[in-house]
Amino acid sequence: MYSFLELAQQFETKFDVRHFPKQPASLYDAAQYILAIGGKRVRPVCVLMGNELFGEINKDAWQVATAIELFHNFSLIHDDIMDKAPLRRGVPTVHTKFGEATALLAGDVMFAQAYDYLTHIDLSYVQKIIKLFNTTSKEVCEGQQIDMDFEQMQNVSSDEYIHMITLKTSVLLAASLQLGAILGGAGERNQQQLYAFGKNLGIAFQIQDDYLDAFGDPDKFGKQIGGDILANKKTFLLLHAKEVANDAQKKEIDTLLELNAADKVQKMLSIYKACKVDEWAKELKEKYYKAALNNLEDVAVLSARKKPLHDLAVYLMERES
HSE on the CB side for 25, CA within 13 Å? 0
Beta carbons of 84 and 206 less than 8 angstroms apart: no
More reliable by pLDDT, 268 or 260: 268
Please say if the pLDDT value at position 222 is more than 80.
no
State residue 219's pLDDT score: 66
75-125, pLDDT tens digit by residue?
999 999 998 889 888 899 999 999 999 999 999 999 999 999 999 999 999
157-203, pLDDT tens digit by residue?
888 999 999 999 999 999 999 999 999 999 999 999 999 999 999 99
User: CB-based contacts of 35: which residues, under 8 Å, 6+ apart?
Assistant: 15, 19, 69, 70, 73
With cut-offs at 50, 70 and 90, classify the pLDDT of residue 262: confident
Q: Using H for helix, E for strand and C for coil, what is the string for the chain? A: CCCHHHHHHHHHHHHCCCCCCCCCHHHHHHHHHHHHCCCCCHHHHHHHHHHHCCCCCCHHHHHHHHHHHHHHHHHHHHHHHHHCCCEECCEECHHHHHCHHHHHHHHHHHHHHHHHHHCCCCHHHHHHHHHHHHHHHHHHHHHHHHHHHHCCCCCCCHHHHHHHHHHHHHHHHHHHHHHHHHHCCCCHHHHHHHHHHHHHHHHHHHHHHHHHHHHCCHHHHCCCCCHHHHCCCCCHHHHHHHHHCCHHHHHHHHHHHCCCCCCHHHHHHHHHHHCCHHHHHHHHHHHHHHHHHHHHHCCCCCHHHHHHHHHHHHHHHCCCC
How far are the Cα atoms of 155, 158, 317 from residue 273, in angstroms, in the given order? Answer: 21, 19, 21
Which residue in 285, 274, 271, 293 sits closest to 318, CA to CA?
285
The arithmetic mean of pLDDT across residues 255-260, rounded, is 88
Q: For residue 216, count other CB atoms closer than 10 A to its CB.
A: 19
The Cα 6–Cα 8 span in angstroms is 5
User: CB-based contacts of 59: which residues, under 8 Å, 6+ apart?
Assistant: none
16-26, pLDDT tens digit by residue?
999 999 999 99
> Which amino acid belongs to residue 204?
A
Q: The domain containing residue 186 runs over which residues?
A: 4-317
The Cα 137–Cα 74 span in angstroms is 11
CATH code where residue 252 lies? 1.10.600.10
What's the structural domain count of the chain?
Answer: 1
The Cα 135–Cα 138 span in angstroms is 5
With cut-offs at 50, 70 and 90, classify the pLDDT of residue 270: very high
The Cα 68–Cα 70 span in angstroms is 5
